[in-house]
């Protein structure tokens, strides 16, 4: 089983990243949280990997942190949650916030993730409430506004926006959204404002 890949990033999309390791290109399916933090193409990269074997394929799921990988494995251990849905969940919520939402039984936050309805949210809480305790110790805390803004500014910088204009867009987006937003919502609103200017 492939558990870790370290090499050169030769291609990236919001769906996957291809890493050249000693002349062999490995394609890893990734969540948006990993995509936003990938280096530029031709830069060095290392991913934690979950290998999934099926009858007709070998699929690699890549994550920048061990916490994301552990969260992914916990999610796919839940009945009704396959790798694709688990990746979508991690694209819509950070590990810290996921742990917090499951621990506190926050059905509203979980069911706001695309692909997760109220029943799926209830099942995640029921099946993972005890299991996420191991993650809680190592997961980053649910993003505070300052840390969240820094992450979004960094992601915008990866798309070529300068620090000052990215920071200004994030500030305006934050004011417009007011409360109840996560990384994805703040990133999209900031990007929308930058594309208008």
Report pLDDT for 86: 93
Which of 31, 63, 95 terminates a domain? The answer is 63
Does the pLDDT of residue 138 top 60, yes or no?
A: no
Shared-domain flag, residues 75 and 92: yes
Shared-domain flag, residues 55 and 93: no
Report pLDDT for 99: 85
Q: What is the pLDDT of residues 45-96, one digit of tens each?
A: 999 999 998 888 899 999 988 888 999 999 999 888 899 999 999 988 888 8
Report pLDDT for 167: 78
Q: How many residues does the chain have?
A: 197
Q: What is the pLDDT of residues 115-130, one digit of tens each?
A: 888 898 999 999 998 8
Shared-domain flag, residues 113 and 153: no
Q: What is the pLDDT of residues 157-194, one digit of tens each?
A: 778 887 678 878 888 888 888 777 888 888 888 898 88
Written as six digits, the tokens of 148 are 């969240």
Shared-domain flag, residues 78 and 52: no
CATH number at residue 101: 1.10.150.20
Residue recorded with tokens 């109840």 = 180
Shared-domain flag, residues 26 and 79: no
Which of 36, 63, 90 terminates a domain? The answer is 63
Report pLDDT for 65: 87
- How far the first Cα of the chain sits from its last, in Å, is 47
Confidence (pTM): 0.67
Shared-domain flag, residues 134 and 70: yes
Does the pLDDT of residue 10 top 90, yes or no?
A: yes
CATH number at residue 17: 2.40.50.140
Confidence of residue 137 (pLDDT cuts 50, 70, 90): low
Shared-domain flag, residues 94 and 81: yes
Q: What is the pLDDT of residues 14-44, one digit of tens each?
A: 999 999 999 999 999 999 889 888 999 999 9
- Domain assignment of residue 162, given as a range: 145-196
Please tell me the distance from the alpha carbon of residue 184 to that of residue 109, in angstroms, as a whole number.
13
Shared-domain flag, residues 71 and 133: yes
Shared-domain flag, residues 171 and 119: no
- Distances, alpha carbon 182 to alpha carbons 23, 51, 62, in Å: 38, 29, 22
Q: Express as a percent the part of the chain with pLDDT over 90.
A: 31
Shared-domain flag, residues 168 and 105: no
Confidence of residue 142 (pLDDT cuts 50, 70, 90): very low
Which of 63, 79, 106 terminates a domain? The answer is 63
Domains contained in the chain, number: 3
For residue 38, the SS3 value is: coil
DSSP assignment of 4-29 equals: EEEEEEEEE-SSEEEEEETTEEEEEE
Shared-domain flag, residues 70 and 59: no
Q: Are 132 and 99 in contact (CB under 8 A)?
A: yes
Cα–Cα nearest to 190, from 152, 142, 164: 152
What residues have CB less than 8 Å from 21, skipping those under 6 apart?
5, 6, 7
Confidence of residue 145 (pLDDT cuts 50, 70, 90): very low
Shared-domain flag, residues 71 and 59: no
């Amino acid at each position: 089983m492939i558990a870790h890949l370290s090499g050169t990033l030769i291609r990236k999309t919001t769906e996957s990243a291809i890493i050249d390791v000693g002349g062999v290109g490995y394609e890893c399916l990734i969540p948006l949280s990993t995509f936003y933090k990938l280096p530029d193409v031709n830069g060095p990269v290392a991913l934690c990997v979950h290998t999934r074997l099926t009858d007709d394929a070998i699929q690699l799921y890549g994550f920048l942190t061990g916490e994301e990988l552990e969260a992914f494995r916990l999610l796919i251990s839940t009945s009704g949650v396959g790798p694709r849905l688990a990746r979508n969940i991690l694209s819509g919520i950070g590990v810290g916030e996921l742990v917090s939402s499951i621990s506190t039984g926050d059905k509203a936050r979980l069911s706001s993730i695309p692909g997760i309805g109220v029943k799926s949210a209830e099942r995640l809480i029921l099946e993972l409430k005890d299991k996420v305790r191991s993650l809680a110790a190592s997961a980053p805390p649910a993003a505070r506004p300052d840390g969240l803004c820094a992450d979004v500014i960094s992601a915008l910088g990866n798309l070529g926006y300068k620090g000052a204009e990215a920071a200004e867009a994030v500030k305006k987006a934050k004011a417009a959204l007011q409360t109840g937003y996560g990384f994805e919502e703040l990133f999209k609103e900031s990007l929308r404002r930058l594309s208008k200017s």
